[in-house]
């Protein structure tokens, strides 16, 4: 679907309505606000495509804002990874912003609220505060410290900032309404003491602002017009607005928070906390393990930015939570790779094939089209000789008429080469077939124009010349979880559903043109799927990841089980 032909989503309707009511188009401004406490995942891709997509649609700036108010879980490594991923997806931010750059302004505003009697220092423990919260139907209880004098509040708050108190000794709370029907309005926390160095402000601060106090004010400082977040913040909107009310200047843009549904994806988890667990427990090799639903994992697996964006565009923006089937993401990468990936030959489970009537020591270089979907991709030469590898599953001694591969007495065409006929096979002591002997028809060479070359046979097999083959490690991946919604079980932890067979490593033989392949290069291994070169690859040892198979085999397997 092209950007102009699709209908507007509900987020765009909100913007259109604001514009129709006179909001100036040149004041539109958006942001994508990740917390640097992990790597971005496919759920974030939705939010990135939404915000940066709006930027492109309305030619409005989009900031990349790091919501870095919790030094316990945040790290520079995550900041770097997030920037890399957003860039890789192909988006450009206007300004790289950090909530931590606003710590002083937020502090000054907090002092102002104290002076106006709208914030106070509470000296109760977090347990005591929690007990006073009340329930949705019963009002909360006011803190005994709620009516401290402005002077005492100022003195204590300054002491908190100066590091005079231990963690948990005091907090700063907004003085709103302990009887509000919205529990979040019952004197929410604004600051807590944390004697932790921050990845950017180091030890400058030992009090850190809470999300609610930070987010709207950051939007305001950056003059973000529309602040889109996921549905769990819907109840926070009232507080977002209350905090804005305290600081907004009439001549300036007042940010507007609106919510959309968080996306969940089948057979995986998308929560940085859970993904971190997979990394820390060694279930995967790291945040960029090709089985991870992270942007970096998908990149390493062989996904393209185009396929991820097309996927995000297809699933669109929803108002309600739902689970998106990951096979839709696979569909999109298959579609894109079909257009761009050169076709090559690789044998994953090799079986030796000897052409008994082919001259000993001879070799030919056969011409092969790189990509039938892309004329500009051109041609390359692949070596052919007396001894070849074919896939084990492509040969059977006997088979019924529906088996269009090779069987004794049967014929197939070797891709870009000749028609062959299997004559005999050799077995080891256990009865496994270890070699197949065949004859070839020298006049049947593909593209030679002879009558025999045009002769149709049912099956075509891919192959690699034994003498020229390059050995490669191939990593075959399956779903990381056996359950469709691993984190949606009340009585079971998501870790219980880890698929023990999510990675299979094999040794394969690939055609020699692949010896030069670089990390990230993408190919279609004919008849086997799409593969790319892993970062573990070296000239001494090629390593490929299977990005996705050629067809959606998963659905079929599911039915069979």
What string of DSSP letters covers 462-508? --EETTT-EEEEEEEE--SBSSSSTT--SSS-GGGGB-TTSEEEEEE
By DSSP bridging, strand 256-260 and strand 406-407 are: unpaired
Q: Which is nearer to ligand ATP, 46 or 153 (CB)?
A: 46
Which of the residues 34 through 53 are near Mg ion (CB under 5 A)? Answer: 35
Q: Which of positions 265-304 make contact with ligand ATP (CB under 6 A)?
A: 270-272
Is 15 near ligand ATP (CB under 6 A)? no
Q: Please pick, among 161, 200, 262, 445, the residue that the annotation labels catalytic.
A: 262
Catalytic residue among 29, 31, 35, 175, which? 35
From the list Mg ion, ligand ATP, none, which binds 301 (C-beta under 5 to 8 Å, kind-based)? none
175 binds, among ligand ATP, Mg ion, none (CB under 5 to 8 A by kind): none
Burial class (CB in 10 A: 0-12, 13-18, 19+), 50: buried
Which one-letter DSSP state was computed for residue 41? B
State how beta strands 379-385 and 406-407 pair.
unpaired
Q: Pick one of ligand ATP, Mg ion, none as the site partner of residue 34 (Cβ within 5 to 8 A by kind).
A: ligand ATP
**212 lines the binding site for Mg ion (CB under 5 A):** no
In three-state secondary structure terms, 112 is: helix
Q: What's the min distance (Å) between Cβ of 82 and ligand ATP?
A: 8
Nearer to Mg ion, 210 or 412 (CB): 210
Residue 389 three-state SS: strand
Complex with ligand ATP: residue 39 or 530, whichever CB lies closer: 39
Residues 204-263 that bind ligand ATP (CB under 6 A): 229-230, 262-263
Rounded distance, CA 175 to CA 164, Å? 23
Residues 6+ apart with CB under 8 A from 408: 397, 398, 422, 423, 424, 425
Separation of first and last alpha carbons in the chain: 35
Q: Does 349 bind ligand ATP (CB under 6 A)?
A: no
Asked whether position 410 contacts ligand ATP by CB under 6 A, the answer is no
Query: 509 forms bridges with which residues in the sheet?
Result: 347, 471
Q: Answer for the pair 268, 481: CB distance below 8 angstroms, yes or no.
A: yes
* Under 8 Å between Cβ of 375 and 338: no
Instruction: Give the Cα separation of 465 and 509 in Å (integer).
Output: 9
Q: Active site includes 330?
A: no
Cα 382–chain centre separation: 36
Residue pair 478/499 in contact by the 8 Å Cβ criterion? yes
Task: For the chain, give the number of residues.
Answer: 561
Residue nearest to Mg ion (CB): 35
Stretch that binds Mg ion, among 27-35, 321-329, 334-342, 438-446 (CB under 5 A): 27-35
The smaller minimum CB distance to Mg ion, of residues 35 and 394, is found at 35
Q: Is 380 a residue of the active site?
A: no
Query: Tokens standing for 105?
Result: 């302004």
Residue 273 beta carbon to ligand ATP: minimum distance, rounded to whole angstroms: 6
Nearer Cβ to ligand ATP, position 46 or 526? 46
Which option in ligand ATP, Mg ion, none does residue 31 bind, with CB closer than 5 to 8 A by kind? none
- Choose which of 15, 28, 30, 33 interacts with ligand ATP (CB under 6 A): 33
Can you tell me the distance from the alpha carbon of 268 to that of 290, in angstroms, rounded to the nearest whole number?
13
The residue count for binding ligand ATP (CB under 6 A) is: 15
- Give the residue, chosen from 43, 290, 305, 417, that forms a contact with ligand ATP under the rule CB under 6 A: 43
List binders of Mg ion among 73-112 (CB under 5 A).
Answer: none
Q: Which two tokens stand for residue 397?
A: 């001694």
* Shortest Cβ 70–ligand ATP spacing (Å): 11
Interatomic CA distance for residues 151 and 154, integer angstroms: 5
Long-range contacts of 88-91 (CB under 8 A, 24+ apart): 88/295, 88/299, 88/305, 89/45, 89/48, 89/49, 89/52, 89/295, 89/305, 89/308, 89/309, 90/305, 90/309, 91/48, 91/52, 91/55, 91/62
Residue placing its CB nearer to ligand ATP in the complex, 386 or 479: 479
Q: Which residue is nearest to ligand ATP (CB)?
A: 43
Catalytic: 164? no
Min separation Cβ 35 and ligand ATP, Å: 4
- For ligand ATP, the closer of residues 52 and 523 by Cβ is 52
The minimum distance between CB 32 and ligand ATP, in angstroms, equals 6
- Enzyme catalytic residues: 35, 262, 272
Using CB under 5 A, list all residues that contact Mg ion.
35
Which residues bind to ligand ATP, rule: CB under 6 A? 33-35, 43-44, 46-47, 67, 229-230, 262-263, 270-272
């Amino acid at each position: 679907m092209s950007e102009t032909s699709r209908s507007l989503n509900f987020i765009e309707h909100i913007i259109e309505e604001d514009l129709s009511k006179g909001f100036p188009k040149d004041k539109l401004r958006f942001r994508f606000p990740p917390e640097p406490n992990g790597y971005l995942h496919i759920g974030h891709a939705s939010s990135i495509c939404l915000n940066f997509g709006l930027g492109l649609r309305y030619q409005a700036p989009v900031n990349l804002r790091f919501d870095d108010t919790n030094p316990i879980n945040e790290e520079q490594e995550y900041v770097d990874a997030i920037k890399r991923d957003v860039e890789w997806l192909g988006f450009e931010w206007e300004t790289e912003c950090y909530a931590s750059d606003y710590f002083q302004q937020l502090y000054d505003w907090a002092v102002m609220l104290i002076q106006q009697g709208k914030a106070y220092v509470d000296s109760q423990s977090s347990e005591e505060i929690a007990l006073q919260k009340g329930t949705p139907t019963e009002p909360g209880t006011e803190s005994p410290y709620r009516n401290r004098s402005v002077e005492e509040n100022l003195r204590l708050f300054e002491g908190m900032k100066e590091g005079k108190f231990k963690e948990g000794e005091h907090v700063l709370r907004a003085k709103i309404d302990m009887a509000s029907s919205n529990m979040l309005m019952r004197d929410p926390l604004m600051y807590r003491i944390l004697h932790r160095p921050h990845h950017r402000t180091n030890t400058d601060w030992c009090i850190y602002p809470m999300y609610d106090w930070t987010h709207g004010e950051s939007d305001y400082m950056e003059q973000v017009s529309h602040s889109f977040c996921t549905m769990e913040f819907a109840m926070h909107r009232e507080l977002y607005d209350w905090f804005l009310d305290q600081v907004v200047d009439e001549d300036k843009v007042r940010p507007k928070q609106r919510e959309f549904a968080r996306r969940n994806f089948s057979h995986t988890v998308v929560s940085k906390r859970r993904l971190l667990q997979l990394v820390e427990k060694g279930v995967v090799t790291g945040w960029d393990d090709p089985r991870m639903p992270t942007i970096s994992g998908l990149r390493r697996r062989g996904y393209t930015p185009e396929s991820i964006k097309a996927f995000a565009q297809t699933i669109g923006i929803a108002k309600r939570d739902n689970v998106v089937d990951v096979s839709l993401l696979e569909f999109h990468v298959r579609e894109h790779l079909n257009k761009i990936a050169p076709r090559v030959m690789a044998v994953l489970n090799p079986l030796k094939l000897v052409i008994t009537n082919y001259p000993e020591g001879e070799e030919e270089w056969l011409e092969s089209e790189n990509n039938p979907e892309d004329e500009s991709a051109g041609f390359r030469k692949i070596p052919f000789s007396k001894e070849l590898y074919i896939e084990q599953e492509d040969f059977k001694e006997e088979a019924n008429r529906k088996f269009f591969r090779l069987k004794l007495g049967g014929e197939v065409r070797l891709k870009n080469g000749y028609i062959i006929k299997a004559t005999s096979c050799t077995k080891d002591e256990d009865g496994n077939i270890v070699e197949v002997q065949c004859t070839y028809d020298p006049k049947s060479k593909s593209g030679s124009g002879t009558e025999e070359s045009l002769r149709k046979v049912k099956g075509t097999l891919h192959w690699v010349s034994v003498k020229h083959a390059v050995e490669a490690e191939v990593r075959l991946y399956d779903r990381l979880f056996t359950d469709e919604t691993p984190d949606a079980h009340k009585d079971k932890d998501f870790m219980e559903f880890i698929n023990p067979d999510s990675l299979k490593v094999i040794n394969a033989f690939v055609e020699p043109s692949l010896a030069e392949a670089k990390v990230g290069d993408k190919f279609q291994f004919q008849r086997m799927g799409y593969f790319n070169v892993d970062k573990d690859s070296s000239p001494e040892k090629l390593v490929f990841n299977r990005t996705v198979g050629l067809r959606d085999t998963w659905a079929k397997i599911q039915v069979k089980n």
